[in-house]
Structure 1
Amino acid sequence: MTTARKALASVAQLSGLGTFGAPIARDEGESLSIRPLTDHPGLLFKEYRPDICVAGADKRIDRLIALPRRLSQKDRTALAASSCWPVSRVVDGDRTVGVLLPLAPKKYFSSLRLATGPSDPKPLAVDWLAKPSDKQRQRGLPGMTFNQRLTVCRDLTSVAAILEAENVVYGDWSYSNAFWSRSDYRGYLIDVDTCAFDSRPWVRTPNWEDPLTPQGIPVDKKTDCYRLALLVARCLTGERDLMNARRKVVLISRREGRPDVGEILARTLTAASRAARPTIGDIHSTMNRPQGGAAATVSITTVSKNIASWRDVSHVQTKLKRPAPAGRPAPSRITAQKQAPTPGASHSASRASTPPSSALPSERDMTIGCITLFVLFAIVVALLVIFL
């Protein structure tokens, strides 16, 4: 695969690519087809629809292809391992017709258990990560734990943080645009070739809409931040519903000893303004903290139905008090001092000599009782006089 990449220029003629294998996809998204290159194993030719190759597309694609060369070795390694970064722009004459992309490693392919038997191995989309563990096991997948889900999501936030730092907008975070490995719990982002610099045209994406990005307004890295946080929250909890994912990611993260993860995702999803959102880099850094290190304490305050706000209270020191037993009010400080036994006296003697005040009737109670008895006696006498 390395030899194939070195043999191809950043702009390759379609006629020089040799033969192609059978299409692995047709008419999906912006592509007419995706086919493997027979003469260059490990590479795919993604043929674009004509409307994708608009004015300026050539420069955009060339900038994406060249971007890894000016990154650090660490970032280049992350992009190569966790994304299908475009290798070459393919032209037919002087017209752009598509790109060459690396084929996802085999570990991202898996068969699923169906009623008719195991399916053919296919890329395992994060669609199956964003489901409860019992649903995963029903299809023959491992029931993913929180830490395993977190490992997958770290790879996705790693790529996203690099894009954000380079002002590259992905714009299409969804269940179908990333894969995960059931063997080592890694993540892999696809369709990176459609990224744009600074912003991308707004496209309707049901269930992924950013409430702070109005319809028709170009999407940018702040929109990416919201959609990525939503995808991660859904993958960590297995919850598809926005409200449930937002609520449960805080509770589950706290239970698993990572309250900082739930807190920063919740702040991203509930921020009152785009400027108040954390960055993708902040999210990625938080997710990569070691467990038990520099974690925030999360306080949840319900502000309206199904909506919660989060406040960092890690700086507040509190002293926990044991609650009073059910049915018995906790004694006040003064009462406790009055009822304390005399030093040196036995427990039984102290209890006998100092009965609880509630056990002795007050003078007022005795007066009311006497009056009540007198009234009842008078009524009985009157009845006897009338009937006898």
Structure 2
Amino acid sequence: MTRIRTWSDSPFSPVVGRDDVPPAAVIAEDGGESTQVHEIAGHPGWLAKLYRKPLSEAASATLRTLVYMPTMMSEQDQTLVNTCVSWPVARICDGPHTVGVVMAKAPEQFYARLRSFDGRELDPAPLTLDLLLHSDEYCAKRGVRSDMSVRARAMLELLRVGGLFARHNIVYADWSYGNAFWELGTGAVFIIDMDTSGIGAREWIESMSWEDPLYPETTRLPLTVYSDRYKLAVLTVRCLTGERDVEPSAAHAVLLERLGHNPFHTALGKSLSASRPADRPSPQELLQTLERWMTATVMTYEPPEEHSAPNITGTVDLRLRTPGAAPPVPQNTPPVPDVVPTPPHCLGRTAVIVLVVVCIVIILLLSAAVG
């Protein structure tokens, strides 16, 4: 079966009615902000998510912007959208109200048959990052390899998506172990539930075990790309170490024991401990330092035969793959640094010479006048 592109292959208009998205099979009910998520009849691979209540005018406008946003992206960013994100492709409207959204279902490669603890093979289910919040021994019992090479590959791909969101000022805010699926063979990730993302800012939302010291519950400040940097760093350090129930700083200390001092570990630590939001390294910075560490480190893994589930086999590709690579900035678009430097004010060489000559003439005239 040909894998659909999760935005470009949409068969829907940007705005559809309820009648345009009839249910074929219900995927979930009464979850979070939705009453139902169902597959759309006649359109395999596409889902309709119906909200508990119509979106506000502001939220509806943001969703409309998200639907159209890929049209303004570079080709490289569109590739990330089409392969790594369940991007909103249409608003479901009832008159003037937005009552739902259409998105792509996660491709089959992100589903796997895990083992139960008694050795039985379970039904296919999304392979989420939640599994990496456990030890290598635990993952092996479930039939999944999870040594550092596997964990690092998945985090590399996660940071690519984080960089995509940051480049377009998207505040996802909902970074969690269950909202990111992954595929073992390539380390590819797939992010879901991004239809409620903000652009520039988003209302504060509670995140159990994820409290940001710079955006605490006591202030409930609007969330920004800087709060996303913290959550992405927490997700990264916990998945790399398998340390779920400790403070991020403690997981960071465990990572130091395993990796030693290196620029990636340092940047990750700054993301977790910076005293000002803007001092937190961007996803792109974390991505670049992790890439350099992976390139410089020989990582091999040959799982014991008894731990290899039939559905989760093969080698982990540690080469920096092109399709999901951090996109280069188009040549006709100048790169945008985090902080735009102010150019020094300087005089050209000719101007300096003229100024010196003028000064000399003035001095001579003054001397003659005094004489």
TM-score w.r.t. length of structure 2: 0.73
Task: Name the aligned partner's letter for residue 235 of structure 2.
Answer: L
Alignment match, 1:235: 239
Rounded Cα–Cα distance in structure 1 between residues aligned with 2:259 and 2:190: 23
Match of 2:13 in 1: 9
266, 272, 275: which one pairs with 2:275? Answer: 272
Q: Residue in 2 aligned with 1:152?
A: 154
1:150-182 Cα distance to aligned partner (Å, 9 max, x none)? 111122111111211211101111111111112
Task: Give the residue type in structure 1 aligned to 2:182.
Answer: W
Segments of structure 2 that go 5 or more residues without pairing to the other structure are 298-371
Determine if contact 1:155/1:187 at 8 Å carries over to the other structure: yes
> In the alignment, is the contact (CA less than 8 A) between 1:250 and 1:266 conserved in 2?
no
Q: Distance in 1 between matches of 2:46 and 2:68?
A: 18
* Aligned amino acid, residue 71 of structure 1: M
| CA offsets 1:353-379 (integer angstroms, 9 cap, x no match) | xxxxxxxxxxxxxxxxxxxxxxxxxxx
Residue 230 (structure 2) pairs with residue 226 (structure 1): yes
Structure 1 residue 115: Cα displacement: 4.8
Greater RCO (Cα-Cα under 8 Å, separation 6 or more): 2
- Equivalent positions of 1:179-190 (< 5 A) are 179-190=181-192
Residue of 285, 289, 295 corresponding to 2:292: 289
CA distance in 2, matches of 1:149, 1:230: 14
The verdict on how the C-alpha distance between 1:275 and 1:4 changes in structure 2, with shifts beyond 3 A counting, is: closer
Kept after mapping to 1: 8 A contact 2:241/2:251: yes
Query: How many Å apart are 1:112 and its aligned residue?
Result: 2.3
1:253 to 254, 259, 262: 259
RMSD: 2.1
Q: 1:141 aligns with which of 141, 144, 164?
A: 144
Where 1:23 maps in the other structure, the secondary structure is: strand
1:55: which partner in 2? 57
The alignment partner of 1:98 has SS state of strand
On the 8 A contact 2:10/2:89 being kept in 1, the answer is no
> Following TM superposition, by how much is the alpha carbon of 1:6 offset from its aligned partner in structure 2, in angstroms?
4.8
Q: 2: CA distance between counterparts of 1:286 and 1:87?
A: 33
Report the secondary structure of 2:208's partner residue.
Answer: coil
Find the partner of 2:47 among 44, 49, 67. 44
- Structure label with greater radius of gyration: 1
Q: Percent identity?
A: 32
Equivalent pairs counted in the alignment come to 288
The aligned amino acid for 2:221 is I
SS of corresponding position for 2:26: coil
The one-letter code of the counterpart of 1:186 is A
Which residue pairs with 2:34 in the alignment?
31
Is residue 206 of structure 2 the alignment partner of residue 204 of structure 1?
yes
For 1:22, what is the secondary structure of its paired residue? strand
Paired position in structure 2 for 1:79: 81
Query: Aligned partners of 1:105, 1:174: CA distance in 2, in Å?
Result: 19
Judged with a 3 Å threshold, the aligned counterparts in structure 2 of structure 1 residues 6 and 108 are, in CA distance, closer, same or farther, namely closer
Change in Cα spacing, 1:93 to 1:77, as seen in structure 2 (3 Å) is same
**Contiguous gaps of at least 5 residues in structure 1:** 295-388
Cα deviation for residue 84 of structure 1 reads 0.6
Deviates more, 1:128-137 or 1:109-118: 109-118
Q: Match of 1:228, as an amino acid?
A: L
CA distance in 2, matches of 1:202, 1:141: 35
| Distance change in 2, residues 1:198/1:262 (3 Å) | same
Indicate if the aligned counterparts of 1:253 and 1:261 stay in contact, CA closer than 8 A.
no
Normalised to the residue count of structure 1, the TM-score between the two structures is 0.70
| Change over 3 Å in CA distance of 1:290–1:262 after alignment to 2 | closer
The 2-side partners of 1:123 and 1:292 are apart by: 29
Q: CA deviation at 1:293?
A: 5.5
Take 1:22 and 1:41, find their aligned partners in 2: how far apart are those partners? 10
Letter of the structure 1 residue corresponding to residue 29 of structure 2: R
Query: 1:54-203 to 2 correspondence within 5 Å?
Result: 54-115=56-117, 117-142=120-145, 144-203=146-205
Q: Give the letter for the 1:107 counterpart.
A: Q
Counterpart Cα distance in 1 of 2:177 and 2:98: 29
